[in-house]
Structure 1
């Protein structure tokens, strides 16, 4: 199985410091849906690992989060594509859970779901937390400069981090180098 893992906010859809609280606020970044469709239609399984502390903060409930993910699935279906497993952390930063990135819990859930180690799999994110989580499971850290990615690119990145302007550019590179 060819598996790639994506962060959600700032990679697939626009991020907001005020949180994405409704399906109407969940707006895909230009080219991201098409990029995921290209992956899917090239035989890749696409999973998502996303911190969703808005749940713990009471900004939205799990039904609203499901509706956001249903919107993602519907947009992908228009391109004859699907998203795989979506792992999300519902906790706040102060909860000291094991799933909130940069900890490895979400990635471990994905690994267990697919019964596959993540060594060498790409994990595409826009924050240092995403890159650190990737390193913790020996995945390839991939930074996109959408969302908070341009700010993150100014920091000390983990060794071996691949950097792209956006998800579409990252997907283009991955497909070109794995065909």
Structure 2
């Protein structure tokens, strides 16, 4: 199975320090929807793993998050793309849950959803160190995009060994699709 896991804010859509709190505030990064559509056309399943602590902080509710995701799904469908699975953590940091990145809970849930013991060699794309830290324990290949908080992350953090850096989701998709197919035993 060809599976890729994406963070949402800063990878697919513009990020905001005050959170995406309404469908009107959800604005795709230029080219990101087309990149997902291209991956979909090439047989990749696309899953999202996203912290959504705005729920736990009382900034928006589940109905609003669903409306934001509906806008994203419709925008993707309009360009021939789709999201196969969407996993999110609704908790605030003080909740100390196991699903809030940098903890690996969302990635463990994705592995379970697809019946995988781990996510070895599954590409995980994020714009922050915590995105990479959550994916690393399950064996994902790590990819940082410069969009969103990516430039700040590059300037301030030491990335896990082997992390590849791409300008944006479009550049990542081009890189991924240029890789030779792995032969399965």
Aligned CA RMSD, in angstroms, stands at 0.8
Where 2:16 maps in the other structure, the secondary structure is coil
CA contact (8 A) 1:11 1:147 kept: yes
**Does structure 1 residue 82 correspond to structure 2 residue 82?**
yes
143, 153, 176: which one pairs with 1:174?
Answer: 176
- The Cα shift of 1:43 comes to 0.2
| Normalised TM-score (structure 2) | 0.95
CA contact (8 A) 1:7 1:48 kept: yes
- The Cα shift of 1:80 comes to 2.1
**TM alignment of 1:55-94, pairs within 5 A:** 55-94=55-94
Q: Number of paired residues?
A: 179
More deviation, 1-10/112-121: 112-121
CA contact (8 A) 1:103 1:136 kept: no
Once residues 134 and 80 of structure 2 are traced to their aligned partners in structure 1, the CA distance between those partners, rounded to angstroms, is 30
Once residues 133 and 146 of structure 1 are traced to their aligned partners in structure 2, the CA distance between those partners, rounded to angstroms, is 19
> Which residue of structure 2 aligns with residue 143 of structure 1?
144
Where 2:179 maps in the other structure, the secondary structure is helix
> Which residue of structure 2 aligns with residue 112 of structure 1?
112
> Which residue of structure 2 aligns with residue 162 of structure 1?
164
Where 1:30 maps in the other structure, the secondary structure is coil
Where 1:130 maps in the other structure, the secondary structure is helix
- Which ranges in structure 1 are unaligned for 5 or more consecutive residues? none
- The Cα shift of 1:92 comes to 0.5
> Which residue of structure 1 aligns with residue 23 of structure 2?
23
> Which residue of structure 2 aligns with residue 152 of structure 1?
153
Once residues 50 and 79 of structure 1 are traced to their aligned partners in structure 2, the CA distance between those partners, rounded to angstroms, is 22
Once residues 119 and 137 of structure 1 are traced to their aligned partners in structure 2, the CA distance between those partners, rounded to angstroms, is 6
- The Cα shift of 1:81 comes to 2.0
- The Cα shift of 1:137 comes to 1.0
| Normalised TM-score (structure 1) | 0.98
Where 1:80 maps in the other structure, the secondary structure is coil
Once residues 125 and 89 of structure 2 are traced to their aligned partners in structure 1, the CA distance between those partners, rounded to angstroms, is 17
What are the superposed Cα offsets for residues 103-142 of structure 1, whole Å, 9 maximum, x if unpaired? 0100111111111231110100000000111111110110
Once residues 139 and 9 of structure 1 are traced to their aligned partners in structure 2, the CA distance between those partners, rounded to angstroms, is 19
